[in-house]
Structure 1
Amino acid sequence: MSTREADIRSFVDAAGWTGAEVSAIPGDASFRRYFRVIETDRRAILMDAPPPHEDPRPFLHVARYLGEQGLRAPAILADDAGRGLVLLEDFGDRRMRETVDAADAESEHATYAQAIETLAALHQRPVAAVPGYTREVYQREAALFTEWYCPARGLAVDAAAYARAWDEVLDALDPAAPAVTVLRDYHAENIMLLDDGGQGLLDFQDALVGDPAYDLVSLLQDARRDVAPTLEAAMIETYASLLPPHYDFRKHYHVLGAQRNAKIIGIFIRLWQRDGKPRYPLMIPRVWATLERDLVHPALAPVAQWFDANVPAHLRDPAGTLGGDFAL
């Protein structure tokens, strides 16, 4: 038994689950690992967030905030943050992703509408005590495109002009936009469908205070599954009907959509090249398709012009050619 396995066993036993079966749940994109803990008629989830690579304290903080606000984060059953171990309520196996993939259009619509209602409820609550989504953060994320995607394509681009274009676009956002808690990874693979009809939230440890449009983009311009443009438009209308129109929401939606999609394209290349995870570039064509739709919005003209000047059409991937070009 390795030292880490011994840590896990002692933690589980001390939490009152002596002798419980601990079995790994497959994961991919981080150093965190998850295990299902089973003892007779009860189950739990073990998060293994090994230091120094991971720190479970932000997760614990946001989970407790969400619970206090009446939203369904997994209950914390036990934790040893110093050793990076957390025992959580088990939400089961019904992810939104697989459920809507197998559903008819009416059921898919209803499931997304419920996720929109959850998001609107979060946006009506007091914000969490987490850092803000600052200009520096937006720029650092957007720069992942020029730092990772462009070199992978053999492109020598004007990164300084790229940053200036983003500054110009971000400067034009409405400062009256309300500040809300942004979970940052709110999509169909991080929403669980619970036996009581509710929806459980996962993977929110990177939450910041930012723009209401961001998590809507994360849900409706999903990098991992196709969301029909008609469903996307209907869900934007649903969200807009639930909250008062404080600002030009659709403008913010497309600006933050473009920013997020540029970031994701860079991250997916980084996951492949740095971390040896070759499945991620295969999802980039979907992300490119939504990025191209966002860039059509007039508010994104400076960024769209930069793309036109720096990234030739044949190196943009809505048609799904990227996998072959990278010789995966």
Structure 2
Amino acid sequence: MISNDLRVITLLDWLENDCLLNVEKCESASNDASFRRYFRVTIDNENFIAMDAPPDKEDILPFIKIGNLLKQANVNTPTLLQHNLEEGFILLEDFGSQWLLDELKDDNATALYQRALNDLLPFATNENLLHADLPFCDENLLRREMALFEEWFVEQLLDDELPPELWENVQEILIKSALEQPTVCVHRDYHSRNLMVLPNGELGVLDFQDAVLGALTYDSVSLLRDCYIDWSKEQIEMWLRDYFQQLQTAKVVDCNFTQFKRWFDLMGMQRHLKVCGIFSRLHLRDEKSEYLKSIPRTLNYLLDVCGLYSELHEFQEILVRLKAKNNG
């Protein structure tokens, strides 16, 4: 039992005295890149997850609201059992500890990725999700995200700078591509560390509280060009073609695969620019340095996409230099 942490003491007091639950055991389950913490609590011989989200740093209302929306759309999110808005506590169904990242192997990857992509379909087809009262991922949000790359990775981490005109041109290319795609509900962090493999073989979806309405390809590129694991270009394209065919069947897209792949590539580039900035900020500001090891993979994704499109070749040269500096 964790007993010398004031937040945990308050959490346990809430569970036992307000929720009238008999907590037999409490242990750390995981932390993430935010200020949230998760604890596995045993209540009457059954495990649950207690989320601690300090209200001065995190707002649990989006988690509750979006969790309920997704549950109603048959997305497999953990059931919310109790919550305390004032303190920032939530009691959740426990999805276990089998992360998709840890389960992926060469002989099961196709089956697991097909399941993960299939589980994305409600985000693009469920009418309640498509018309949900969620923020829209507009040009301003896309720019704010890409600004993280310039500020935290280039300037703060590497003490370097980007050519202003070239950088503006790159951002305009990526924004145009994102905004011309069909609009769907976007998880925004759909990858192998936010998906759980459940005992029945299904996948459980976590960390959905930042969902928005945005570009169709965002979640698929988050999954297939994951910052924590990589696969061959041929394998990724095979999985992507299968997903594209599902979207065609569901009448979500009416473009050809070449256009869809360009959307996918450029959306991934926008995301990976953001992620490089976030990983750098986690190291420099939040003292979470374990994310630095994922920057080289993320830069490789950026370099690969720049190599595919002539209008990005000049930026590719900048990235080559930045990658060398990061490695040095």
TM-score after normalising by structure 1: 0.89
Out of 255, 266, 273, the residue aligned to residue 284 of structure 2 is 273
What's the offset of the Cα at 1:312? Answer: 6.1
What is the SS of the residue equivalent to 1:188? coil
8 A contact 2:303–2:316 mirrored in 1: no
SS at match of 2:59: coil
1:8 and 2:11 correspond: yes
How much does 1:239 deviate? 0.6
2:225 corresponds to which of 221, 224, 232: 221
Deviation by residue 1:63-115 (Cα, 9 ceiling, x = unmatched): 10110001110000100122100000001111111111xx3x23111001100
Residue 158 of structure 2 corresponds to 153
Residues 1:48 and 2:52 are matched in the alignment: yes
Seen in structure 2, the aligned counterparts of structure 1 residues 27 and 47 have a Cα distance that, compared at 3 Å, is same
Q: How far does the alpha carbon of each residue in 1:109-139 deviate from its partner, in whole angstroms, 9 at most, with x for none?
A: 1001100100123211122321011011111
1:217-270 CA-partner distances (Å, limit 9, x unpaired) = 100111111222222111101111101232321111011111111111111111
Does residue 1:288 correspond to 2:292, yes or no? no
Q: Given that residues 184 and 208 in structure 1 are in contact (C-alpha distance below 8 angstroms), is that contact kept between their aligned partners in structure 2? A: yes
Question: Retained in 1: the 8 A contact 2:178–2:267?
Answer: no
Counterpart position of 1:305: 314
Structure 2 unmatched runs, 5+: none
CA contact (8 A) 1:166 1:302 kept: no
Structure 1 residue 276: deviation in Å?
Answer: 1.3
Q: Kindly provide the CA deviation profile for residues 21-42 of structure 1, in whole angstroms up to 9, marking residues without a partner as x.
A: 1111232422100000112431
Consecutive aligned runs of 4 or more in structure 1 exceeding 6 Å deviation? none
Q: SS of 1:209's equivalent? A: strand
- Correspondence for 1:208 among 182, 188, 212: 212
2:29 maps to which residue?
25
- Structure 2 distance, partners of 1:159, 1:205, is 33
SS in 2 for 1:77: strand
Q: Which residue is 1:194 aligned to?
A: 198
Aligned partner of 1:121: which letter? P
How far apart in 2 are the matches of 1:17 and 1:225?
39
Partner residue, 1:256: 267
Contact 2:80-2:90 within 8 A present in 1 as well: yes
Q: Which position in structure 2 is the counterpart of 1:183?
A: 187
1:131 equivalent in alignment to 2:140: no
Judge conservation of contact 1:36–1:43 (CA < 8 Å) in 2.
yes
User: Does the aligned pair in 2 maintain the 1:31–1:54 contact within 8 Å?
Assistant: yes
Secondary structure, in 3 states, of the residue corresponding to 1:82?
Answer: coil
> Is the Cα–Cα contact under 8 Å of residues 84 and 90 in structure 2 kept in the other structure?
yes
Q: CA deviation at 1:43?
A: 1.1
- 1:192-223 CA-to-partner distances (Å, cap 9, x unmatched) read 11122211100111111011100011001111
Separation in 2, partners of 1:61, 1:129: 10
Q: Give how far 1:161 is off.
A: 4.2
- CA distance 1:40–1:264, shift in 2 (3 Å): same
1:144-185 alpha-carbon deviations (Å, 9 max, x no partner):
11111112223232345413431244235573x321111011
Superposition TM-score, scaled by structure 2 size: 0.89
Asked if the contact 2:299–2:319 (Cα under 8 Å) also holds between the matched residues in 1, the reply is no
Q: Which residue of 2 aligns with 1:141?
A: 145
Q: Conserved in 1, the CA contact under 8 Å of 2:158 and 2:326?
A: no
For 2:235, which of 231, 236, 244 is the aligned residue? 231
Q: Is the 8 A contact 2:218 2:267 kept in 1?
A: yes
Which moves more between the two structures, 211-220 or 222-231?
222-231
> Structure 1 residues 26, 169: closer, same or farther in 2, change over 3 A?
closer
Range 188-197 or range 78-87, more displaced? 188-197
Q: For this pair of structures, how many residues does the alignment match?
A: 313
CA distance in 2, matches of 1:206, 1:73: 14
Seq. identity, %? 29
Q: Map residues 165-180 of structure 1 onto 2, 5 A cutoff.
A: 165-172=170-177, 175=180, 177-180=181-184
* Inter-partner Cα distance in structure 2 for 1:2 and 1:106: 43
Q: Which runs of 5+ in 1 are unaligned?
A: none
Q: State the AA in 2 paired with 1:17.
A: L
